[in-house]
Structure 1
C-alpha cells in the first residue's frame, strides 16, 4: 500500500561565505569550481548522495582535454550525530558535437573517522539530444550497489525536468529481521520533477523500494525512506 508522506523543506544558505551556490573561475586551460552542491552532473545523478549535514561543499578542476578531478564533502561532521565524509573523483568527459557525448569516471568514498568505511564506484554514461543516461557500480563489501540513471531534461507538458533512478543492492551479509527471515538484497527507485518558480528551485520526488514492514530494518539505500514517500522540496540559494 502506498502511504505518501508530504515533506516541505527550505534550504537557505545564510552564511556570508556561502552566498553563492557555485563560483567558477578560468585559469588558462583549466576551469575551477567551488560549489555547495556536486558539480559533476553524471556523477551526481548516479552515485553522489544528497548532502547529509548543514555544512557541505566541494572543489572541481577540469581541463579543456576533457579530464577532471575533484572532491565533494556531503557532511563536514560538525553537526550533532554526523560524521566527516569525503568523496574524491577523477573522470573524463567528451562531446562529439552538441548532441552526443559520453563520460566515464571513478569515485572514492571515505569516512576518515571510521575505520574500514572506504569504498569505490565506477560510473559512465552518454548524453543524447539534451538527455543523459548512465550506470554505476559501487563495490562495497557490505553492500554492492548497481545504479541506473536517466535525465530526460525538460518535459514540455509539465514544463519541468524529469529524472529517474533505479538501484539494486546486494548485501554482503544477509540481514535477519524480526520474524527470522533474511534479506539478501533489495531494489529501490525514485522519480523527480524539478522546475524554478519565483526564485525557488522546486522538486517533487516520489521514492519507494521493494521492502515493506520489518524488511525496512535492512534498508540503507538511495532514498531517505524505505516505503513509498512523496516529497516536496523547495530550495533557494542567494547569489
Structure 2
C-alpha cells in the first residue's frame, strides 16, 4: 500500500456522506474495510489501541482463506506538533468454530518524515468464548518491547468491556538520570473499562509503570504518563 492510497482513504473517512465508523465492501473472495478504527481484532489491541492525533484511519483487505493485509495511521500528521505514523501489517486469522480461533502476523511501524524510525513486531493470539489474549515482540534497537494483551469482553456486573495490557521494555542504551543511576529496563501496564453511552464512547483508564521520580525521564512506553494516572475519556465519532 502506498502513501497516496492511504491519504485518499483518509479523505474518504472524513467525508460527511459516510455514516459509520467502518465502511465494508465485498470484492469477490476479498473483504475491504475502510474506517477510523483498526479493523484487526488483535491488531487493535497490539498495534495502536488509541489514536495519537486528531486525524486517524486506515484500510484493510482480507481473503476468505484467512490471510489479510492492511495499514493504519494512528496519526495523519496534519495537526500542529504531530507527525505522520503508519502501522502496516500482514497476517493470518483462523476460527475452528464460533468459540475458538487464533491469529498471527507481522507489523511494520514507520514514520516517513523521520529517518531511522522504522521497526517491526511479531504478534499473535487466541480468541476463546468472546475473549481475546495476545502478545507481541517489537524489534526496536532503542527500545525492545514485549507486550501482553487481554480483552475480556463485557463484564456483566459492570456492563462494560475490560481490557488489560502489560509491557516490558529493554532499552538499547541505559538512560542516566539526575542522581547518576541508570535505567536499562522498565515495565508499564494499563487497565481500561469502556462502554457506549448516548452515542459517546466512555473510557476509564488506569495506567502506571515501575518508574517514578527522576526515573520517569527515561520513560517511553505504552502509556501517556509514567506514574499512576486515572483518565476518563469521552469520544464521539463524527460518523
The normalised TM-score by structure 1 is: 0.91
Rounded Cα–Cα distance in structure 2 between residues aligned with 1:224 and 1:17 = 33
Are 1:49 and 1:222, in contact at CA under 8 Å, matched by a contact in 2? no
Alpha-carbon contact 2:47-2:87 (below 8 Å) kept: no
What is the CA deviation profile of residues 178-232 of structure 1, one whole-angstrom value per residue up to 9, with x for unaligned ones? 1111000100000011111111111111000000001001111000110111111
Q: Give the aligned partner of residue 226 of structure 1.
A: 226
Q: Following the alignment from structure 2 to structure 1, what is the Cα–Cα distance between the partners of residues 106 and 195?
A: 30
Q: Structure 1 CA distance, aligned partners of 2:19 and 2:217?
A: 39
Structure 2 equivalent of residue 83 of structure 1: 83
After TM superposition, the structure 1 stretch with the greater mean CA deviation from structure 2, 71-80 or 183-192, is 71-80
Q: Which has the higher contact order (CA 8 A, sep 6+)?
A: 1
Who is 2:61 aligned against? 61
Distance 1:233 1:18, change over 3 A: farther
- 1:238 to partner: Cα distance: 3.8
Shift of 1:78: 1.7
Gap regions ≥5 residues in structure 1: 1-12
SS of aligned partner of 2:217? helix
Q: Are 1:51 and 1:75, in contact at CA under 8 Å, matched by a contact in 2?
A: yes
Equivalent position SS for 1:173: strand
CA shift for structure 1 position 14: 7.5
Aligned mates of 2:143, 2:17 — CA distance in 1: 37
Give the corresponding residue for 1:28. Answer: 28
Q: Distance in 2 between matches of 1:180 and 1:18?
A: 55
- Number of residue pairs aligned between Structure 1 and Structure 2: 227
Q: Which residue of 2 aligns with 1:151?
A: 151
Secondary structure of residue in 2 paired with 1:16: coil
Q: How far is 1:151 from its partner?
A: 0.7
Q: Secondary structure at the match of 1:215?
A: helix
Q: How far 1:48 sits from its partner (Å)?
A: 2.1
**Runs of 4+ in structure 1 over 6 Å off:** none
Aligned equivalents of 1:94, 1:236: Cα separation in 2 = 32
Quote the residue 1:116 is aligned against.
116
- Say whether the 8 Å CA contact 1:19–1:237 is kept in structure 2: no
Of 49-58 and 14-23, the range deviating more from structure 2: 14-23
Post-superposition Cα deviations, 1:117-137, rounded to whole Å, max 9, x if no partner, equal 110000000000111111100
In the alignment, the residues of structure 1 paired with residue 14 and residue 121 of structure 2 have an alpha-carbon distance, to the nearest angstrom, of 33
